[in-house]
Amino acid sequence: MAEEKGTSSDSVDKLDVREEEEQADDPYGDDSRKTVEEPEGESADETKPLGGDDESAGTSSKLNEEGEGEAAPPVPPKDEEHPKKGPSAGQKFVLSETGVEVYVSQHSVPKTKKLVILLTNSLGIASPNNMKLADLYSDKMDCPVIMPDLFDKDPIPTSGVVVDDDEPPETQEDGSALLNFFKNRAAGAVKGFLDEMWMAKHTYERTYPTLAATVAEIVEVFKPSSVAVIGYSFGGRYVMQLLEDHENNEWSSDEDLITVGASVHPSLLTVQDFGHVAKPLYFVSAADDEMLPDKLLSQGFDQLRRNKVDFDYLTISGERLPHGFAVPDDYPETLVGDRPYEVIDKVVEWISQRM
């Protein structure tokens, strides 16, 4: 595997929300809710923060970090290099003003007032893998991670989808048949891919105003000193919008608290989206991603350079990776290897240096 890398230059007050009761036999159940006030700084779980070593921008290197971290109860203790599959560690709430449901992952009493807002792929906050992704970021960055529902309880449908890691289809030596199996599956509704009928209900014009109001309420409730936004696939495009300068953004009329962002294999991206970015951006993609053609990325990065934006990009090349590869457990390890955890470590390292 080769990697191309380039560069151009945090406390909860009182939360008047409804909490989803956890079911003993279903950690992701949501049969009932109740109105609660969340005491400041309260957390049942505690883990150790993890960080990354500094790395000079503009150089080429091999990805070799391990995705380490102690899993918080009720996940069994870690005894391998990556967390085992298991229940998520956070809770779901409904914000009182916007009515938007959010998943909140906070493993320990935060030592800082930093905050991460995680924007999901089109599988949304109902996806166990997305919840555990938020848990990983909260663990590694030692701060709350808030993951809002971007789709008003309407994530992309995935009924009938089966991913079999044990008996993959017959494949050519170069693995292209296996890749096409994942890329071109029925209706494209796999791993946060895009279905046309679903997309018609979740356009930019409908999604962004709600997201902007949601971000404003999250900031009001949690009162962070600084905010990072991280987006995967569908959510990746909206990171670009939230990284506008203070004069142009819509989400806050008082303070400009978003300081940095990361967009991981974004979908539906346009060259114009790059023009919104005024704050530090980390951009991750796989080579030969049909949703992110070379021409689009070249023009977009040129736009960032012209606007003198502090940005860095990571292109994982030399391997055939499907779009959406960077969410742990969304694809079999035989297909994506350790790449999801390596991306998380890179994002954490880069963002932590700028918050």
Is 40 within the bounds of a domain?
no
Beta strands 226-232 and 281-286 are unpaired
The pTM (predicted TM-score) of the whole model is: 0.69
Is 86 within the bounds of a domain?
yes
Is 58 within the bounds of a domain?
no
Is 44 within the bounds of a domain?
no
- Which among 143, 4, 13, 104 has a CA at the least distance from the CA of 62? 4
How many separate domains does the chain show? Answer: 1
Tally the C-alpha atoms within 13 A of residue 347's C-alpha that lie toward its C-beta: 32
Q: Which domain holds residue 287?
A: 2-12+81-162+172-352
Q: What is the pLDDT of residue 70?
A: 39
DSSP structure class, residue 296: H
- Which among 10, 49, 54 has a CA at the least distance from the CA of 353? 54
Whole-number Å distance between alpha carbons of 179 and 26: 33
Is there a contact between 322 and 316 (Cβ–Cβ < 8 Å)?
A: no
Is 68 within the bounds of a domain?
no
Is 29 within the bounds of a domain?
no
The neighbour count for residue 76, using CB atoms within 10 Å, is 11
Query: At 274, phi and psi to the nearest 5?
Result: -65, -30
Whole-number Å distance between alpha carbons of 169 and 181: 8
Is 98 within the bounds of a domain?
yes
User: The CATH number of the domain where 314 resides is what?
Assistant: 3.40.50.1820
User: Which pLDDT tens digits describe the chain residue by residue (355 residues)?
Assistant: 445 556 554 333 334 434 443 433 443 444 333 333 343 444 433 333 333 333 333 333 333 333 344 333 333 333 334 444 556 679 999 999 999 999 999 876 666 789 999 999 999 999 999 999 999 999 999 999 999 999 988 888 764 343 444 334 433 333 333 333 334 443 333 444 556 787 888 889 999 999 999 999 999 999 999 999 999 999 999 999 999 986 655 544 446 899 999 999 999 999 999 999 999 999 999 998 989 999 999 999 999 999 999 999 999 886 789 999 999 999 999 999 999 999 999 999 999 999 8
Is 290 within the bounds of a domain?
yes
